[in-house]
Structure 1
C-alpha cells in the first residue's frame, strides 16, 4: 500500500514537473528577464557626488586653407538631492569650461530616464553626444536578456551635438552582470551637419579670415561607452563628415570635418578653484 502510494506521488510529481517545464511555471522565464533595469537604471543616493572630465574637438581640414581647430575641455561635479520620483534625478552642479565663466552650485534635474535636462528654468531634450547617465535617446532601451554580440537599431530624429539626424547600430561588446557593467559600441550614418546653423563658416587663408559657404555630406560616427548601473564610466565618439566649402577667394574645396569627444568619470569631487591673482595683487 505504501509502495503504491509512493509510486502515485512520484508519478504526480513527474507530471507536474513536465507541466512546469513545458509552460515555464516555476522557472525564470527568459522572456521576463529585463537586463535594462540592471545595466541602464541608476540608483542615486542623496548627498552623493559624481564628477566627470569632458573634452570636445571640432576640426576642419582641407587644401587651400589653414586647419581650423576648436577645443572645449571641461570638468564638472554633480551633488545629488532627494527626489520624490525615481525617474527624476535632482542635483546641484558646479563646472569649469576652460576659457569661459564657471558654473557654481546651479540647480537642475534629469527627467524621463535622463532624456530630458532641466536647467535654469528650462527643460530640453538632451542632444549632447554623452551625459553622466545612460540616455535611451542615443542608446535605445532594449528589452529582455542582453548577451555579447547582440545588436539593435536606434533612430535619431533630429541633429545632435556631433552629428545629423540618422540611424545607428548599437552592439553589446561585453557585459558583467555581477557588477552591473556593460560595454556598448555605437556606429551610425546621417546626411548633413550637426545641430545648429552651419551653412557658412570662417577659415584662414594666407593669414586672412575668409567667410566661406559650407555644404555637409554624409556623416559617419563610431564610438564606445562603458556603463555601470546606468552611470557613464567612460564614453568616446568620433564623427567624420565631408564638407564642401566655397568662396570667391578659395574656390570650391572638398574638406573634411572631424569631431570627437570623450567623457571620463573622475573618482573625486572636482572643486572650483579661485582665479589666480594678477602679478602685484595680494592673494
Structure 2
C-alpha cells in the first residue's frame, strides 16, 4: 500500500503534467481498434525526376483500403483488408499487427513493417516516444534499415499539436540518410526531343520531412516528402546530375 505522502506526490505529479499541457502518449499513439469497427483510407504516391535539358519524369500510384476490425482489442489486432490500387484488380486479406505495430502480417506471413504510411502507429519508423506528450517536445528515432520512402538514418519527431478531447496528435518527422530505399528500382527513363533513354540511378543523401495526425493511434492524415540528388548514368548519355523527389499522401475517409 502506498503511503499518504507517496500518493500525494503522485497526484501532484499528474496535476503538474496536466498544468504543463502534457498528456499520456499511450492515449494518443496506441491504436484503439474496436471489434467490428470499420476504418478506411485513400492514398497516393508520386516519384519524379528533374534533369536539365530533359522532359520531366513522373510515376504515380493511388488507391484505397477498407479495414474491418476482427479482434481489435487483442494483443495482436487482426483486421480484414479490402484494397484497390487504381488500374489493378482489387484484393483482400487478413492483416495482423505485432510488436506494437513494428511487425505486420498479411495472410499469416509476417515481415517488418516498413510502410512509409499506413493505418496505424509504427514504432519501427517513429521510435519510442516519452511517456507523456506536450506541444514543442521532440525525440530522436533511429531507423535501422531501408524502408518504403527512405534509408537507414536518424529522424527527429516533434509534437506540433494535441487535442485531448479526441486524443489526436500531429507530429512532424524530419530525417536524413544515405543509400537506397526498400525496393528502390534505381532505374528510370529520360526523354529528350522525343527519344527515350534508359538510365540507372546513383542516389545521393536523402532528406525527408512531413506531418502526420494520429487519433488514438490510427492515422487520420499523413504527408511525407523525400528528396535527394542523384546521378543518372547510361552508355549513350554519360553521367547526368539530377534531382529526385517522392511523396505520399494518405487520408482517412468514411468507409463505403
Q: TM-score, normalised by structure 2?
A: 0.89
Which stretch of the first structure deviates more once superposed, 191-200 or 229-238?
191-200
2-side partners of 1:134 and 1:61: how far apart?
Answer: 33
Once the two structures are superposed, residues 130-170 of structure 1 have per-residue CA deviations (whole angstroms, 9 ceiling, x without a partner) of 11101111222212221111000001111111111111100
CA contact (8 A) 2:26 2:131 kept: no
The Cα of 1:258 is off from its aligned counterpart by 0.8
1-side partners of 2:24 and 2:37: how far apart?
Answer: 25
In the alignment, structure 1 segments of 5+ residues that lack a partner are: 1-15, 271-283
The Cα of 1:202 is off from its aligned counterpart by 3.0
CA contact (8 A) 2:172 2:211 kept: yes
Q: 1:57 aligns with which of 37, 42, 46?
A: 46
Q: Does 1:195 align with 2:179?
A: no
- Against the structure 1 CA distance between its residues 250 and 90, is the aligned structure 2 distance closer, same or farther, given a 3 Å change threshold? same
Give the total of aligned pairs: 249
Q: 2:132 aligns with which of 145, 168, 171?
A: 145
* 1:277 corresponds to: none
* 1:97 corresponds to: 85
- Against the structure 1 CA distance between its residues 249 and 148, is the aligned structure 2 distance closer, same or farther, given a 3 Å change threshold? same
* 2:9 corresponds to: 24
* 2:226 corresponds to: 239
- Against the structure 1 CA distance between its residues 197 and 185, is the aligned structure 2 distance closer, same or farther, given a 3 Å change threshold? closer
* 1:172 corresponds to: 159
Q: TM-score, normalised by structure 1?
A: 0.81
The structure that has the greater radius of gyration is 1
The Cα of 1:197 is off from its aligned counterpart by 4.6
In the alignment, structure 2 segments of 5+ residues that lack a partner are: none
* 1:250 corresponds to: 237
2-side partners of 1:142 and 1:193: how far apart?
Answer: 27
